[in-house]
């Protein structure tokens, strides 16, 4: 008799805009590469293009518009109450552009991931590509990390590098990094869904039970000469 397949991990994905990482995740699930069940996609912006991508994939969508709440705490509470209806084992931030409060982050401790377009700890925050160019970086990239109260500061689990070309603009660099993000995020999510990626009481990330003192690296993927 064959073992029953393990049920896919229920997840909720939070977005604010374009949703290209969401699309990459949806496609990875469709290709059988990602054992997750995307229970819902939530956006804080009604116009987020990612909402249409979710709808096309038959995923429930909700808008929780932050401008309609008196303060961050009220927004966070509404968001949390909504997410918890789906009982997710993992909350995935995919271009979600709101800072989340301490209590919200504590509630999802060890079960919330984010993707950030830089090689953290370099360039947390916005405009990462221009800042990498301004700093004269020869290498740039993207990082997946557990979310903690420090913005873009939780333990990094996986990174991918891209070489920076002399002729690069913020836009050209952003495009190459984004391509990598689409490969990177499903890998880290799969690790989590398979129970390989965990978070301990000391706030450390572990892969296969071993503390990740440094993030794992995905080799450069484009192979294009720069």
Judged by beta carbon, residue 39 or residue 143, the one nearer ligand GRF is 143
> Does 19 interact with ligand GRF (rule: CB under 6 A)?
yes
Helices (H) and strands (E) in the chain, counts: 6, 11
Query: Which 99-138 positions form the footprint of ligand GRF (CB under 6 A)?
Result: 115-117
> Does 98 interact with ligand GRF (rule: CB under 6 A)?
no
Q: Which of 21, 43, 44, 148 binds ligand GRF (CB under 6 A)?
A: 21
User: What character string, x for contact with ligand GRF (CB under 6 A) and - otherwise, covers 33-62?
Assistant: -----------------x------------
Please say if 107 is a catalytic residue: no
Q: Which of 88, 95, 155, 186 binds ligand GRF (CB under 6 A)?
A: 95
Instruction: Look at residues 121, 117, 113 and name the one whose alpha carbon lies nearest to residue 161.
Output: 117
Tokens of 80: 């949390």
Sheet strands side by side (includes 156-163): 60-63, 36-43, 9-15, 90-93, 112-116, 139-146, 156-163, 216-218
Q: What does the DSSP assignment read for 164-203?
A: PPTT--HHHHHHHHHHHHHHHHHHHHHHHHTT-EEE-TTS
Query: Which 154-193 positions form the footprint of ligand GRF (CB under 6 A)?
Result: 178, 181
Interface with ligand GRF (CB under 6 A): 15, 17-22, 50, 94-95, 115-117, 178, 181
């Amino acid at each position: 008799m064959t073992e029953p397949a393990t049920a896919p991990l229920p997840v909720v994905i939070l977005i604010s805009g374009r949703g290209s990482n969401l699309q990459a995740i949806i496609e990875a699930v469709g290709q059988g590469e990602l054992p997750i069940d995307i229970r819902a996609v939530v956006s804080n912006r009604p116009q987020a293009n990612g909402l249409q991508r979710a709808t096309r994939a038959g995923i429930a969508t909700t808008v929780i518009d932050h401008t309609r709440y008196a303060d961050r705490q009220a927004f966070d509470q509404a968001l949390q109450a909504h997410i918890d209806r789906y009982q997710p084992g993992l909350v995935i931030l995919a271009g979600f552009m709101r800072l989340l409060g301490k209590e919200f982050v504590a509630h999802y401790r060890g079960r919330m991931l984010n993707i950030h377009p830089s090689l953290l700890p370099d360039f947390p925050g916005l405009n990462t590509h221009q800042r990498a160019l301004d700093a004269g970086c020869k290498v740039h990239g993207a990082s997946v990390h557990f979310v903690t109260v420090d913005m873009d500061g939780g333990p990094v689990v996986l990174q991918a590098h891209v070489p920076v070309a002399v002729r690069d603009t913020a836009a050209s660099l952003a495009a190459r990094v984004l391509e990598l993000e689409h490969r990177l995020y499903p890998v880290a999510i799969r690790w989590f869904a398979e129970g390989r990626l965990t978070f301990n009481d000391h706030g450390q990330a572990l892969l296969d039970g071993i503390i990740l003192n440094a993030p794992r690296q995905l080799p450069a993927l484009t192979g294009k000469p720069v």
